[in-house]
Amino acid sequence: MEKLRRVLSGQDDEEQGLTAQVLDASSLSFNTRLKWFAICFASGIVFSILGTGLLWLPGGIKLFAVFYTLGNIAALASTCFLMGPVKQLKKMFETTRLLATIVMLLCFILTLCAALWWHKKGLALLFCILQFLSMTWYSLSYIPYARDAVIKCCSSLLS
């Protein structure tokens, strides 16, 4: 609607910058965004479950690492459909979630490196566990006071 308003008022430029193109590309209807969010999130869950099932096959650690990582990436990318890719990236790199985002992205890369190039099964499994923990910590950053509650729970369990 906003784009139509700009065209009708004569404010629409022929050439748009990259940021404007990305923002326009994310101007899908709410129903479309919701459908693609569900598709992407569900495929992420399917990839993760499929990877977990492949873990028990001989030599399945590589497939597990790849499918589990793809599942987490798909689940993370699904939120781009709800809030748009630029806003998603801005929120990911806010100071409250910067460390969790960096650890999570590093775990994605290190998991794939350990499984596919270094051929270290134990390391790949360790990075998958760290992936899970970093994704959980990242997700908790969107829930008010959730991180504080988890810290208090863990500290009370340890003391």
- With 0-12 / 13-18 / 19 or more C-beta atoms within 10 angstroms meaning exposed / middle / buried, residue 63 is middle
In terms of DSSP H, where are the helices of 55-120?
A: 61-83, 85-92, 98-112
Torsion of CA 78, 81, 84, 89, to 10 degrees: 0
pLDDT in tens, 78-118: 988 888 888 889 999 999 899 999 999 999 999 999 999 99
* Token pair 């599942």 in the structure block, residue: 71
Cα–Cα distance for residue pair 79/45, rounded to 1 Å: 14
The full set of domain ranges for the chain reads 30-158
Cα–Cα distance for residue pair 101/131, rounded to 1 Å: 11
pLDDT in tens, 29-84: 888 888 999 999 999 999 999 998 888 888 888 899 999 999 999 999 998 888 88
pLDDT in tens, 118-136: 989 889 999 999 999 999 9
Asked whether residue 17 carries a pLDDT value surpassing 70, the answer given is no
Whole-model pTM: value is 0.75
Q: What share of the chain has pLDDT > 70, as a percent?
A: 84
Please give the pLDDT value at position 108.
95
Cα–Cα distance for residue pair 130/107, rounded to 1 Å: 7
